[in-house]
Structure 1
């Protein structure tokens, strides 16, 4: 996946060279040249990715070339961020790029940032030239953009084929799904039917279907049958020839004369004629996980097949259950790990060592190579835009239950979600997630009242594979408590249980994404210095940490697009929050923040703002959702699509009237609503043509919420939640 470093960079340069071209006045041509260079090597990287996946080309020269391209792409990305930051710092009013450029374009030629960028561009172009020269010298060809190349034929042995030859004694847990599939095939519709057995790689799909395919009832019911293994690099003509040959072999017939020289059309016509008036079954091979008791049975069969009569000794039982739990019912993993442990000494030390170093063993131990390869296949088969999205799961700890809404916003802030016509980024991101779920790579944990998936996770073994790929691709560095330093080109860092001592040394100014987990303290002095070191950061997530203060220095984070303070102890927001011109999403759920500074009205790109004041001492009552105070002039935030939870009693009628100007709102939650503002609220709601979800909570249990004056409810409204006494709704 070498292309992960280049494609998003090209996508980033396109709007920079069009919509905001004047920003690059004087260096526009040079930046355009770099974009052209990136496009010229994009096909080379795609070809390198395909060859690596097929293990056809393990040349160290190609790996070195890809590594160098990734390093140059990294320099370009950082250079652009630094240039835009420097230009923004020369804007005294911070009203946005375009207005600034119109007023001071004549000064750009003398700006220091421009000269720095010019120098950097020259060095980058020279680096590209050297990479090309070396690639030509060692015959690693850069392919012209759009020419592509034929996909390399896979030469590695697909480990899934081993499951085709398993004896019944080695298989557990497939009796019911096997009999169900047989019944569907034999007793189902007499017309052509497609049955799909889906699931993540390694779940046992091939094993199950092979037992159905070989069953005597199935063989006796159909006139002919064929098993087709479809690899990533399959050839359609070879696939058709294989099907015809297998049909003929079953019926002890000779294949058609000249079949090997037939083209695709002739093969299809021949096959259609052959299958007329015949019952046939064809399996296309590229369930679910085993329940705990069957997983344990399979593990014991493999791990103790030479000792203890296939039963686990008592001293290893607890640790064995922990190892099986890591496999989460995945038959391929259980079989491979059980087989590996059967070769080791039956001691707690040996087994604990494998348990504690599972990720390392998965990458290097030949006994587990099949697990690694099969799980990697699911990743390699993804389209480019979904690979980065799946890799992002690796930034979260093992077995972590992810909020889908938060995850999608992080994808958007990272630039992974590509714009499609007028569709909202949030909706496109939701489609990405659903595709990963449909590919059985992401597991659904919870679905909301509106049918939208709210919590998800990935399989623990897939998490280990992703960690390997993140390291190989410099996608993200996971900084854990065991580490004392961090080196590398990664622009993303996930900090888990790391000490402040390590963080204080951590001054990588090029980092643009920081996620924190299990951090117990954030002293004020530390936070001020910390934010000064990360001026290029775009994603900042402190959720569920002990953060209790956000210093003024946060206003220096010009590139910040996403800020998550959920479930922290932060009490106030600094006025400098108004400097965050590029902030699009901010979550402040369950914090001690009671009021949002008026300066937030300067954030014209803000799309989602979700707040909720929480005091551990507050009594449980109707108003358990406490609103946050907003200045009444909030109507200038035209980009807002989601706003929760606003204290309607603070700004009263003026605030409600301003809300009516937010025509892009799809989700709105108001609390502390009084009868006094009812008529103004109805008028504002009528103006919200995009509103889908409305939550309204009264100031107390006796207050009546009157929505009768609404003459025409928003046409998109799907969900209306009322908390309190309600006057009669309009017809």
Structure 2
């Protein structure tokens, strides 16, 4: 929802100015309080409407448009003033703008409009009537045979107690059709004394649900007689009818746990092997039962089988000349049964020529979204419509990433925060709230988990192509986001009013010269976010109000082409930036300019360059910084502070990859909230004494530490006592000579929260002495290139949380000890322990236990 996103973004700007220790502009506190009250009222209105207000859609559309336009105009006025003030207080035309003129303009053009809009909403709320109606829908799909058998087994099992069996998956995956297939099976019809099917939907009414059940289970009832009864009377009638009989109740399309809470007391636990089956898109609803079924996408083989079933029906096989292209069409549907059904229906009615099928293969998504009155998008649209308003901007933003792209979650959550989409919650960082938003979208099956990281958090996610198309349609309708379509030769004129732009050039597009794109991008004065991935450099100097610049997808450290590299001198002139991710063409062995200090609200700084860079001393003044990532950044000594609270980077969470990091007390106290630190050392022998590595033990909020030493003269990190006592450390990666000496002995009380331990290229390490209670929560142990390590301590296998051990090019005796740990756990019947052991010298030989 563009209006809601604009409101949050405006509130975020005002808040950042108020909290900034040296703000570029200032507001009168009384004015801020008044404006904030109005903004909060408008935000509450949008959230209330999203949760089921009775105001007509037409009235809300008008109000949303006014709210969005007013909030965006306020953003433009405030940020333009900020940029002008930082650059010397003059406009691009050399005109001076006084503080009084700015505040008067803001008051007359913006604040007055906010007050008028609030008054109109008050009047609208006072005269609003009711307009809600339940909706039903029906999916058509041939289901998964293996899942059908699994569901039938759960329904007919011998357990006498009442089972709740949720079927969960994204819209269009085939949940209802699977349930209908099971419900209509003769075996199920004979097994249960009573069966009832009721569609709950999002606008449910408890009395309607109860009436529908009674009409299914009792032939003596009529709609007229039941409609005259109260909810309690209807529930009592159901309870009495079901008591003593084996029943199956299907609650189709249930959208909230609240709906279940209101009807579940009417279903008796009668010891008759009764079952309740429900279909839902929401994982939290699915958690109601402990016997759930998760519907995933079809694999390529099953997708092809389903397509053939729809296209050829009773015919034997697909003609040989169409099989290859037909399998490609099935693959293009990405495992979503509803897409396959729509394409199958189209192919069944059209000519069966290779030329036509090749056309279908190249235009699968377009046809799916246009066929049968956009049947697939309508099925998925419901999931978007019923999203809480705070999740809608984050979901629509997913359309900015290239089709089929794996999305790095650590970047995604930073982008959502930088865009101002995340609503502050007390005692939680915006990044934590952002990850909670992501989990909510995953629970609703709108975003897919692709890979988890070493700490168990989601590392990469994806979005199905059809859902991405939905994002782009809604984003275009609300003027929330513009994304250039593949092979689009020109960019529409409407781009000059866009605030978020995504442009990606694939290798197949190199015949399209990007110059028209670059020329068009010179006329986008309002743009705040630019997510791009193509070979040409963009004319960045024209983007004075830019907040987000992501021009590096971090696919590789080294790129032979230097065309898409940016000068940090040019980038740092864009003083309104909050998020920077670029490849740098900065010459080797130099620092980046002190002008970085002018970026008053910079939060994320990611620069991909292949040489060490020296940061200016001014970096210690950048109190808004949260995440800094270079490939070899050297930090200078912090300036001497006159007051204890000067130059404290209290927002800083991530520092990587830092070269020769000095851990003196004056540095450590300035980064008290660091959670992720990656450091390495290249230095002469005499230099190591000044690094004070023991002080790492004072970073009490540290969750992830990576350490490497590229020198024969190593500083001592062999005493792990202080590192081991870090209370929040979850990920520890000890790489390249991190140990001094041959022995490592741990003691009780260390590593109390460590979940992932990597030891790699520590050439001196021979003996590791420990106990299972020294790593009470360890889940993954990875050992790499440890040629001298004699063995893995056998007690490691006794850690109850351990999930895997991995060895790559370790000594034969270490591999032998790993096999012995595996065998011992198998003998104990520990099926949860599933290590992967790669013997020295063989990268393809896996030793696994039966549970893998």
Paired residues of 1:10 and 1:35 also in contact (CA < 8 A): no
Q: How do 1:685-700 residues align onto structure 2 when only pairs under 5 Å count?
A: 685-700=696-711
- 2:124 aligns to what? 143
- 1:509 aligns to what? 525
Distance change (3 Å), C-alpha of 1:569 and 1:18: closer
Paired residues of 2:24 and 2:82 also in contact (CA < 8 A): no
> Does 1:122 pair with 2:133?
no
Distance change (3 Å), C-alpha of 1:234 and 1:10: farther
Cα distance in 2 for partners of 1:575, 1:242 equals: 71
Gaps of 5+ in 2: 91-95, 254-294, 506-512, 554-561, 640-646, 748-852
- 1:152 aligns to what? 132
> How far is 1:677 from its partner?
4.1
- 1:577 aligns to what? 596
> How far is 1:34 from its partner?
8.8
> How far is 1:587 from its partner?
1.9
> How far is 1:552 from its partner?
2.6
Cα distance in 2 for partners of 1:196, 1:45 equals: 29
Counterpart secondary structure, 2:655: strand
Paired residues of 1:202 and 1:330 also in contact (CA < 8 A): yes
- 1:175 aligns to what? 145
> Does 1:487 pair with 2:499?
no
With 271-280 and 533-542 compared, the bigger mean Cα shift is at 271-280
Paired residues of 2:307 and 2:340 also in contact (CA < 8 A): yes
Cα distance in 2 for partners of 1:340, 1:433 equals: 35
- 1:427 aligns to what? 432
The one of 620, 625, 628 aligned to 1:601: 620
- 1:713 aligns to what? 725
Cα distance in 2 for partners of 1:539, 1:294 equals: 42
> How far is 1:604 from its partner?
1.1
Paired residues of 1:578 and 1:603 also in contact (CA < 8 A): yes
Cα distance in 1 for partners of 2:438, 2:131 equals: 27
> How far is 1:685 from its partner?
1.8
Paired residues of 1:509 and 1:534 also in contact (CA < 8 A): yes
With 475-484 and 588-597 compared, the bigger mean Cα shift is at 588-597
The one of 398, 405, 418 aligned to 1:400: 405
Paired residues of 2:4 and 2:46 also in contact (CA < 8 A): no
With 594-603 and 445-454 compared, the bigger mean Cα shift is at 594-603
Paired residues of 2:3 and 2:65 also in contact (CA < 8 A): no
Distance change (3 Å), C-alpha of 1:641 and 1:66: closer
Q: How do 1:282-321 residues align onto structure 2 when only pairs under 5 Å count?
A: 282-286=249-253, 287-304=295-312, 309=315, 311-313=317-319, 316-321=322-327
Q: How do 1:112-511 residues align onto structure 2 when only pairs under 5 Å count?
A: 112=98, 114-116=100-102, 118-119=104-105, 121-124=107-110, 143-144=124-125, 150=130, 152-154=132-134, 158-160=137-139, 162=140, 171=142, 174-187=144-157, 189-249=159-219, 253-254=220-221, 259-286=226-253, 287-304=295-312, 309=315, 311-313=317-319, 316-347=322-353, 350-358=356-364, 360-363=366-369, 365-367=370-372, 369-480=374-485, 481-488=488-495, 489-497=497-505, 499-506=514-521, 507-511=523-527
Counterpart secondary structure, 1:556: coil
Cα distance in 1 for partners of 2:689, 2:410 equals: 31
Paired residues of 1:43 and 1:148 also in contact (CA < 8 A): no
Paired residues of 2:688 and 2:714 also in contact (CA < 8 A): no
- 1:668 aligns to what? 677
Counterpart secondary structure, 2:198: strand
Cα distance in 1 for partners of 2:360, 2:412 equals: 31
Paired residues of 1:608 and 1:642 also in contact (CA < 8 A): yes
Cα distance in 1 for partners of 2:68, 2:35 equals: 17
Distance change (3 Å), C-alpha of 1:159 and 1:142: farther
> How far is 1:271 from its partner?
3.4
Paired residues of 1:68 and 1:131 also in contact (CA < 8 A): yes
Paired residues of 2:707 and 2:734 also in contact (CA < 8 A): yes
Distance change (3 Å), C-alpha of 1:693 and 1:5: closer
CA deviations 1:87-131 (Å, max 9, x no partner) are: 444589xxxxxxxxxxxxxxxxx9535424533553456767998
Distance change (3 Å), C-alpha of 1:687 and 1:320: same
> How far is 1:730 from its partner?
5.9
> How far is 1:505 from its partner?
3.2
The aligned length equals 663
> How far is 1:683 from its partner?
3.8
What TM-score, normalized to structure 2? 0.69
- 1:586 aligns to what? 605
Cα distance in 1 for partners of 2:360, 2:102 equals: 51
Counterpart secondary structure, 1:583: coil
Distance change (3 Å), C-alpha of 1:598 and 1:91: farther
Cα distance in 2 for partners of 1:186, 1:132 equals: 58
Paired residues of 1:31 and 1:121 also in contact (CA < 8 A): no
Distance change (3 Å), C-alpha of 1:454 and 1:570: farther
Paired residues of 1:44 and 1:142 also in contact (CA < 8 A): no
CA deviations 1:126-155 (Å, max 9, x no partner) are: 76799899xx9xxx996339x987562146
- 2:829 aligns to what? none
Cα distance in 2 for partners of 1:264, 1:673 equals: 75
Distance change (3 Å), C-alpha of 1:303 and 1:66: farther
Distance change (3 Å), C-alpha of 1:469 and 1:356: farther
CA deviations 1:508-556 (Å, max 9, x no partner) are: 1211111111x1132xxxx5xx333212111110114843332534333
Counterpart secondary structure, 2:503: strand
- CA-based RMSD of the aligned residues comes to 3.9
Cα distance in 1 for partners of 2:188, 2:596 equals: 68
Paired residues of 2:3 and 2:67 also in contact (CA < 8 A): no
Cα distance in 1 for partners of 2:99, 2:226 equals: 67
Paired residues of 2:171 and 2:383 also in contact (CA < 8 A): yes
Cα distance in 1 for partners of 2:349, 2:568 equals: 56
Paired residues of 1:660 and 1:684 also in contact (CA < 8 A): no
Cα distance in 1 for partners of 2:13, 2:577 equals: 18
Distance change (3 Å), C-alpha of 1:350 and 1:633: same
Paired residues of 2:10 and 2:71 also in contact (CA < 8 A): no
Cα distance in 2 for partners of 1:504, 1:574 equals: 29
Cα distance in 2 for partners of 1:401, 1:343 equals: 36
Cα distance in 1 for partners of 2:532, 2:14 equals: 32
Cα distance in 2 for partners of 1:416, 1:26 equals: 25
Distance change (3 Å), C-alpha of 1:414 and 1:405: same
Distance change (3 Å), C-alpha of 1:424 and 1:729: farther
> How far is 1:18 from its partner?
6.9
Cα distance in 2 for partners of 1:708, 1:719 equals: 18
> How far is 1:328 from its partner?
0.9
> Does 1:15 pair with 2:15?
yes
Cα distance in 2 for partners of 1:636, 1:131 equals: 41
Cα distance in 2 for partners of 1:212, 1:346 equals: 34
CA deviations 1:359-384 (Å, max 9, x no partner) are: 55455x34252211111112222212
- 1:617 aligns to what? none
Paired residues of 1:86 and 1:113 also in contact (CA < 8 A): no
- 1:521 aligns to what? 536
> How far is 1:184 from its partner?
1.4
> Does 1:561 pair with 2:581?
no
> How far is 1:690 from its partner?
0.7
